[in-house]
Amino acid sequence: MILSKIFKNTLLLLTACLVLSACATKKEIATDIEGSMQGDVYTGTDTVKYLAEGVPDRVFFATNESILTTASRETLRAQAAWLRKNSGINVVLEGHADERGTREYNLALGERRANAAKDYLMTYGISSDRITVLSYGKERPVDSGSNPLSWSKNRRSVTVKAN
């Protein structure tokens, strides 16, 4: 069981790496806006809150994607470590999309993003009983701007303490 999970995870990581490296060449042309986007994934810290010292509460996604970036996986590993230490805490993973999609598809996309984060936390030993997934689609942006940087901040999965 655990073995198969680890195997699945490695596979997931591998495919993620492959996809990312494939995308990198394509998206390098897209200029980084004020150094806070890579491709079109937000890399800044503007909107980020912290569950604890060194434990960011959110990860960001590329347009229409739910693949975790290297930075996202690092964030989620920190969250998993923190959750292991605080075994009494449960979390809600709130998945969001930017405003450049249809409402219903975005609800599904938000759910898919939050689940990508959930799967990763689970492979680092966090029980699914402690995690609830909640999609908001495009309904709750953090940034009300209509530009690529604002949209990148809104494509996110946020880990929120449930108790």
Partner 1 sequence: MIKKIITLFLILIPINSYALIEVDITRGNLDPLPVAVSPLSIDEKSRKGFEKALKKNNIGEEISRIVENNLRTSGLFNPLSKEAFLQAPDIANLKPRFEDWNLIKAQALITGKVNYVDDKLRVEFRLWDVLAAKEMMALAFTTVPTNWRRVGHIISDKVYERLTGEKGYFDTRIIYVAEEGPKTQRIKKLSIMDQDGYNNKFLTLGNELVLTPRFNPTSQMVTYLSYFKNLPRVYLLDIETGTQEVVGDFPGMTFAPRFSPDGKKIIMSFAKDGKSDIYTMDLENRIVERITNHPSIDTSPSYSPDGNYITFNSDRSGYQQIYIMKSDGSDVKRISFGNGLYGTPVWSPRGDLIAFTKLHKGKFYIGVMRTDGKGERLLTENYYQEAPSWSPNGRVLIFYRETKTNDKGEGFTAKLWSIDLTGYNERQIKTPTDASDPSWSSLLSN
Phi-psi category of residue 75: left, alpha or beta, with phi > 0 → left and psi -120 to 50 → alpha = alpha
Which lies closer to partner 1 via its Cβ, residue 56 or residue 110? 110
CB of 82 to partner 1, least distance (A): 23
- Bridge partners for 158 per DSSP: 58, 94
Which lies closer to partner 1 via its Cβ, residue 63 or residue 81? 63
- Tell me which stretch binds partner 1 (CB under 8 A): 5-13, 33-41, 76-84, 139-147: 139-147
Which lies closer to partner 1 via its Cβ, residue 10 or residue 102? 102
- The answer to whether 70 and 80 are in contact (CB under 8 A) is no
Site track 86-115 with partner 1 (rule: CB under 8 A), x = hit:
-------------xxxxxxx-xxx-xx--x
Instruction: Say which amino acid occupies 158.
Output: V
CB of 47 to partner 1, least distance (A): 11
C-alpha closest to that of 124 among 72, 163, 54: 72
Residue 9 contacts partner 1 per CB under 8 A: no
Residue 66 contacts partner 1 per CB under 8 A: yes
Residue 163 contacts partner 1 per CB under 8 A: no
C-alpha closest to that of 140 among 156, 163, 160: 156
Q: Which position has the token pair 């009983």?
A: 129
- Bridge partners for 50 per DSSP: 56
Burial tier of 73 (Cβ tally within 10 Å: 0-12, 13-18, 19+):
middle
- Tell me which stretch binds partner 1 (CB under 8 A): 12-20, 33-41, 71-79, 134-142: 134-142
Residues in contact with partner 1 by CB under 8 A are 64, 66, 99-105, 107-109, 111-112, 115-116, 119, 133-135, 139-146, 150
